[in-house]
């Protein structure tokens, strides 16, 4: 009997032990989960800049690369060349430079062969290599696997992380921005490619001393940073990558003494963690809020999405931007100008879609949509020399600068980043505002000899047009059928 009792006691004890151990384990698991979801486990130094103490009194500067052979003047006083602007950022860097770029081709031999003055790409690359000696940490995220330049940067102490876009969306990492010391920002069409500093026409902005916004852009960078070699998007995200500001809760800052609401947006949908505004939502909002005009400058415009589904190519109409523009034109009488590029990758359907848009205004008073094509020579651009690579929209009350062309497949598969600026108060400076400068840049291009009318382009192309094969210039942008996997 006594023996049986002790056995029972033993069983009871070990059961209790088990329960205690189990609870402990549970607690531990919860703790680990909490730590992973809220605390930075990547050991990043936040530089002591937080949402509470960040700086919102920012300076903004418009940067452009205008190729030498183009007869176009800067958009106004106080604007900078892209190359000068980026070198300026590197001069300011004290601790860190974070770069995302779709291309890395600063040192190409083509540059010397083409006799482009200054060798700007090479100069910038050498500055980046030199960051190490100044104790400035360089971090790069990229979807390129075989870049000699990234290998060289790694060898000079840069930290380079690879994002497998093929596995994630079958697209490309098209984001193009810099975050310097979590204070200064560059975002725009120009990337780490010597063409962006020499022969292509680029536009972007620099924001100085703007740590409140830089913190949020840094979160987008961190998002890519954490995707290193992943072939899926985690469903639970660290708080370090969720959005701080959005189109419904923008950040109020002073931009050169003018109050403005600002926020960042990203693409594709899969890359928008909690609260992050999608690029397309940002564009829609800016179009919807325009009162008198919308000026758009992008290389390509095509409301179509291409995907591959079980080995079949499927093309679908992608209506988002088209719809928003139609509403603005017909229901709100907003004047729309589209400045596209005419080059070798211009999809023939572009002409049909923009003709369709402009025919909306037939026999309508105060309805105006005009389309022009930027082209530096008579025939088709065989080359990207003088190509207008701009990707922005300016309206009477806001601007949007992005990294993607207005093509359905781009927003669906490619990773891009956008910035929306909407002034809220009186412009008190006697100098032109950033909106004034962007509008001036647009009008300069629009009224230049390089902007050809739709009619002109149609005669150039001859008719009838050959029915195009519905593939976007050989780019593999199809998303893997998710249900198949
Ligand atoms: C903002 O201020 C900076 C520095 O004073 C100046 O260089 C820049 O041109 C200004 N930007 C605008 C849009 O006026
Ligand atoms: C990227 O993902 C694809 C598809 O999952 C895989 O085939 C490829 O090897 C990956 N690339 C790298 C460099 O990991
Ligand atoms: C940024 O702020 C610092 C310190 O307040 C100031 O010295 C510097 O001139 C500012 N830079 C710009 C571009 O406004």
CA of 61 to the centre of ligand 1 (A): 5
**At 258, is the secondary structure helix, strand, or coil?**
strand
Reply yes or no on whether the pLDDT at 274 is more than 90.
no
Beta bridge partners of 400: 393, 420
- The model's pLDDT over 416-446, given as tens digits with 9 standing for 90+, comes to 999 999 999 887 778 899 999 999 999 999 9
Burial of 404 (0-12, 13-18, 19+ CB in 10 A): buried
- The model's pLDDT over 215-249, given as tens digits with 9 standing for 90+, comes to 999 999 999 999 998 999 888 888 889 999 999 99
Does residue 386 fall inside a structural domain?
Answer: yes
Q: How far apart are CA 372 and CA 456, in angstroms?
A: 9
Q: Are 208 and 184 in contact (CB under 8 A)?
A: yes
Beta bridge partners of 160: 140
Q: Which long-range contacts (CB under 8 A, 24 or more apart) does 76-80 make?
A: 76/432, 76/436, 76/437, 76/440, 76/441, 77/431, 77/432, 78/431, 78/437, 79/437, 79/441, 80/206
- The model's pLDDT over 370-413, given as tens digits with 9 standing for 90+, comes to 999 999 876 555 667 789 999 999 999 999 999 999 999 999 99
Q: Is the CB–ligand 2 distance for residue 167 below 6 Å?
A: yes
Does residue 1 fall inside a structural domain?
Answer: no
pLDDT score at 427: 77
- The model's pLDDT over 116-163, given as tens digits with 9 standing for 90+, comes to 666 899 999 999 999 999 999 999 999 999 999 999 999 999 999 999
For 147-281, list the strands marked E by DSSP.
159-162, 177-180, 184-188, 192-193, 202-208, 251-255, 258-267, 277-278
Q: Is the CB–ligand 2 distance for residue 146 below 6 Å?
A: no
Does residue 438 fall inside a structural domain?
Answer: yes
Q: Are 192 and 99 in contact (CB under 8 A)?
A: yes
Residue nearest to atom 3 of ligand 2 (CA): 167
**At 141, is the secondary structure helix, strand, or coil?**
strand
pLDDT score at 4: 58
Nearest ligand to the CA atom of 441:
1
Reply yes or no on whether the pLDDT at 472 is more than 70.
no
CA of 324 to the centre of ligand 2 (A): 37
CA of 374 to the centre of ligand 3 (A): 37
- Whether the ω angle into residue 192 lies within 30 degrees of 0, i.e. cis, is no
- The model's pLDDT over 354-376, given as tens digits with 9 standing for 90+, comes to 999 999 999 888 899 999 999 98
Residues in contact with 285: Cβ distance below 8 Å, sequence separation at least 6, in sequence order: 247, 420
For 143-182, list the strands marked E by DSSP.
159-162, 177-180
Q: Is the CB–ligand 1 distance for residue 431 below 6 Å?
A: yes
Reply yes or no on whether the pLDDT at 353 is more than 80.
yes
**At 329, is the secondary structure helix, strand, or coil?**
helix
Distances from the Cα of 130 to the Cαs of 80, 103, 190, 191, in angstroms? Answer: 23, 20, 21, 19
Does residue 443 fall inside a structural domain?
Answer: yes
Report residue 98: phi and psi, to 5°: -115, 130
Does residue 43 fall inside a structural domain?
Answer: no
What six digits make up the tokens of 266?
Answer: 């990203």
pLDDT score at 73: 94
pTM of the model: 0.87
Once rounded to an integer, what is the mean pLDDT over residues 72-80?
Answer: 93
Does residue 212 fall inside a structural domain?
Answer: yes
Residue of 78, 209, 254, 429 best suited for mutating to test ligand 3, as the one with most atoms within 8 Å of CB: 209
Q: Strand pairing of 192-193 and 104-105?
A: parallel
Greatest Cα pair distance, the chain, in angstroms, is 107
Sign of CA dihedral 233, 234, 235, 241: negative
Q: Are 139 and 212 in contact (CB under 8 A)?
A: no
pLDDT score at 108: 85
Does residue 437 fall inside a structural domain?
Answer: yes
Residue of 57, 58, 60 best suited for mutating to test ligand 1, as the one with most atoms within 8 Å of CB: 60
Compute CA 151 distance to the chain's CA centroid, rounded to the nearest angstrom: 24
Nearest ligand to the CA atom of 89:
3
CA of 233 to the centre of ligand 2 (A): 14
If you compute the radius of gyration of the chain from its CA atoms, what whole number of angstroms results? 26
Q: What is the CATH number of the domain that holds 356?
A: 3.30.870.10
Half-sphere exposure of 117 (CA within 13 A, CB side): 3
pLDDT score at 33: 57
Element (H, E) at 214: helix 211-225
For the chain, the domain total comes to 1
Average pLDDT, the chain: 87
Does residue 17 fall inside a structural domain?
Answer: no
Q: How many CB atoms sit inside 10 A of residue 177's CB?
A: 23
- The model's pLDDT over 80-121, given as tens digits with 9 standing for 90+, comes to 999 999 999 999 999 999 999 999 999 987 776 766 666 899
Binned at pLDDT 50, 70 and 90, residue 11 comes out as low
Q: Is the CB–ligand 1 distance for residue 209 below 6 Å?
A: no
Once rounded to an integer, what is the mean pLDDT over residues 432-461?
Answer: 93
Q: Strand pairing of 335-341 and 369-374?
A: parallel
CA of 209 to the centre of ligand 3 (A): 6
Residue 401's domain comprises 57-483
């Amino acid at each position: 009997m006594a023996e049986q009792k002790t056995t029972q006691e033993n069983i009871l004890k070990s059961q209790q032990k088990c329960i205690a151990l189990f609870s402990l384990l549970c607690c531990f698991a919860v703790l680990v989960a909490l730590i992973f979801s809220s605390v930075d486990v990547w050991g990043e130094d936040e530089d002591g800049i937080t949402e509470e103490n960040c700086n919102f009194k920012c300076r903004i500067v418009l940067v452009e690369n205008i190729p030498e052979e183009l007869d176009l003047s800067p958009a106004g006083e106080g604007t900078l060349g892209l190359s000068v602007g980026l070198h300026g950022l590197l001069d300011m860097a004290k601790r860190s430079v974070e770069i995302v770029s779709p291309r890395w081709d600063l040192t190409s031999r083509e540059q010397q062969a083409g006799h482009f003055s200054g060798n700007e790409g090479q100069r910038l690359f050498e500055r980046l290599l030199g960051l190490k000696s100044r104790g400035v940490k360089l971090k790069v995220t990229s979807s390129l696997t075989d870049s000699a330049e990234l290998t060289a940067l790694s060898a000079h102490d840069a930290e380079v992380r690879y994002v497998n876009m093929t596995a994630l969306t079958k697209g490309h990492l098209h984001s193009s921005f810099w975050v310097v010391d979590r204070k200064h920002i560059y975002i725009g069409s120009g990337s780490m490619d010597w063409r962006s500093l020499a022969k292509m026409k680029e536009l972007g902005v620099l924001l100085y001393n703007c740590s409140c916004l830089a913190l949020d852009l840094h979160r987008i960078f961190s998002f890519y940073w954490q995707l290193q070699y992943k072939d899926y998007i985690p469903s639970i995200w660290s708080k370090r990558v969720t959005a701080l500001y959005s189109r419904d809760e923008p950040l109020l800052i002073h931009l050169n003494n003018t109050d403005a609401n600002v926020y960042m947006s990203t693409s594709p949908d899969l890359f928008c963690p909690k609260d992050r505004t999608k690029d397309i939502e940002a564009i829609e909002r800016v179009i919807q809020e325009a009162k008198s005009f919308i000026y758009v400058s992008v290389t390509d415009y095509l409301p179509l999405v291409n995907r591959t589904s079980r080995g079949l190519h499927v093309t679908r109409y992608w209506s988002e931007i088209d719809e928003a523009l139609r509403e603005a034109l017909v229901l709100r009488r907003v004047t729309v100008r589209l400045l596209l590029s005419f080059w070798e990758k211009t999809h023939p359907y572009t002409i049909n879609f923009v003709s369709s848009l402009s025919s909306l205004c037939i026999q309508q008073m105060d309805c105006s949509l005009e389309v022009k094509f930027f082209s530096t020579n008579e025939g088709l651009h065989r080359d990207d020399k003088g190509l207008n690579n701009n990707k922005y929209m300016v309206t009477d009350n806001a601007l949007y600068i992005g990294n993607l062309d207005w093509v359905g497949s781009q927003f669906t598969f490619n990773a891009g980043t956008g910035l929306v600026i909407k002034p809220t108060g009186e412009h008190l400076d006697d100098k032109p505002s950033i909106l004034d400068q962007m509008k001036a840049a647009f009008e300069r291009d629009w009224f230049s000899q390089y902007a050809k009318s739709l009619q002109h382009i149609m005669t150039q192309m001859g008719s009838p047009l050959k029915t195009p094969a519905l593939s976007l210039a050989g780019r593999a942008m199809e998303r893997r059928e998710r249900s198949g996997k």
